[in-house]
Amino acid sequence: MTDDIMQQRRAILKGAISASTLALVAASGLLLPRQLLAHWPKNAFNAETVEDALLALLGEADIADDAALNFKVGSPPSYAINGASVPIQIQSDLNNIERIAVLVENNPFPLAMSLELTPAVSLPIKSMIKIREDSPVIAIIRAEGKLYKTSRFVEVDIGGCG
Amino acid sequence: MGLPRKDRIRAKLKSENTTVRVLLAHPMHTGRAKDEADTLIPAEFIQDIRCWRNDEEVLTIKCGTATARNPYFSFQLVGGKQGDMITIRWVDNRGAKGTTETVVK
């Protein structure tokens, strides 16, 4: 009988210890980055408005409209013959850029891509996106905890979200 | 506009920085387009692209459906030397994977 109780007590103690160790490890942030990075931010990419996408991707934050961010869309700039592949280029003099997001306001799902940079990466970054119809295209940079945003209106001849 | 048969990558040392250019061979179907028989083409697009320089992970790109077909990226890596190994790995929403790598020239 006493043996039985001791056994139970042991099991409970063991459980408590491992749970608290896990909590400690989690709180210390050791587990965080890798696991967060491994996750595709579904809510952000499936959001149907720019506001929702940003909220899901970056959380609540004030965004500064800023000339520090040089953003080119289309070729010639602000014009695209074929919306299925519109060149974009992002250039900036900001230091310690952590993240870049590109959004197309009038697309069914505005968030086009989100880049997570390490200090080993420097700008400019170039890529191609799809734009369904004439729409503002927004680039957002997070650097040193601040957000910078630049928007360009792009005219599209043939929509590219087919 | 056919698909290139395989992923392409170039990395070149230019004024102390490494310029990396990547072209992935992927249809990037959004799940909204229809084929000739008027049936929807199911979504199939790259979600996650990672770039390594030697053993160091330097860049993660998350893509939505609005990334163009045959995704193209060009970016700079600070420093670097000839002979560095640049590796790109991608995963799409169906779990298909690809790896492509090159040596910095």
What is the least distance, in Å, from the CA of A152 to any CA of chain B?
17
Average pLDDT over residues A53-72: 73
State pLDDT tens for residues B4-19: 568 888 888 888 888 8
Work out the percent of chain B whose per-residue pLDDT is above 90.
Answer: 1
Complex ipTM more than 0.85, yes or no: no
How many residues are there in chain B? 105
Residues A109, A146: one domain? yes
Q: Does domain B8-30+42-103 sit in CATH 2.170.150.20?
A: no
Q: Which domain holds residue A91?
A: 41-158
CB contact under 8 A, B30 and A40: no
Same domain, A16 and A59: no
Cis peptide before A33 (omega within 30 of 0): no
Cross-chain residue pair B67–A120, CB shorter than 8 Å:
no
User: Residue B61 is nearest to which of A84, A113, A130, comparing CB atoms?
Assistant: A113
Domain count for chain A, please give it.
2
Residue A89: closest C-alpha in chain B: B74
| Closest residue, chain B, to A116 (C-alpha) | B60
Q: Mean pLDDT over residues A62-85, rounded?
A: 74
Report the CATH number at residue A76.
Answer: 2.60.40.2470
**Digit-coded pLDDT (tens) for A4-47:** 666 666 665 565 555 555 554 444 444 444 444 456 777 777 77
Burial B71-91 (b: 16+ CB within 10 A, else e): bbbbbbbeebeeebebbbebe
Residues A98 and A149 in one domain: yes
Please report the pLDDT score of residue A17 as a whole number. 54
The pair of three-digit structure tokens given for residue A42, joined into one six-digit string: 């579904």
DSSP codes of every residue in A100-124: EEEEETTSSS-EEEEEEE-TTEEEE
